[in-house]
Amino acid sequence: MTTTLNDRVALVTGGSRGIGAGIALRLAQDGADVALTYRQDAERAATVVKQIEALGRRALAIQADGADPAAVQGAVDRAAAELGRLDILVNNAAVFTVGAMDELGSAEVEQTVAVNIRAPYVAARAALRHLGEGGRIISIGSNVGERVVFPGLTLYAMSKSALVGLTRGLA
């Protein structure tokens, strides 16, 4: 185990499964305390928290639906308050909506924009109040933001392209 992130605190949105859980665990292996958000599976989030704690790090699971801006802001503020600071925000939570444009309705568009674009913006804006010198905001994109590899990915590609724009703007 390396300790390059000792005394650092990270928040990983969508950190209870998949890539997010992998990121949360790696941050903990590198010495960070980690908060993570999850939408509905508290048991899965608790498992990741236990794995982080087994590495000797503090961990916190926060239920927050990325489609709810108040929940996203609250998760950032709670992570900083309960873990004492915030050094790293990883915008990882996303929805993967697939379908032809003429098959997708307003609900799918609104959900994708809310979770994949607005939530990272809200989280980044909230994190800026907590991040000190050397703080980092990391956004997990997709190759689909640059190259659509099969039909039906227009909406998802749009959202990931917007995330790239947000990330470049913040940089």
Contacts 24+ apart (CB under 8 A), 22-25: 23/90, 23/92, 23/140, 24/48, 24/52, 24/59, 25/51, 25/52, 25/55
- Report the C-alpha gap between 7 and 144 in whole angstroms: 35
Q: How many residues does the chain have?
A: 171
Catalytic choice (114, 116, 156, 163): 156
- Residues 6 or more apart from 38 whose CB is under 8 A from it? 14, 15, 16, 17, 44, 45, 61, 62, 63, 64
Is 156 among the catalytic positions?
Answer: yes
Q: How far apart are the first and last CA of the chain?
A: 30
Closest C-alpha to 129, from 72, 76, 84, 58: 76
Active site residues: 156
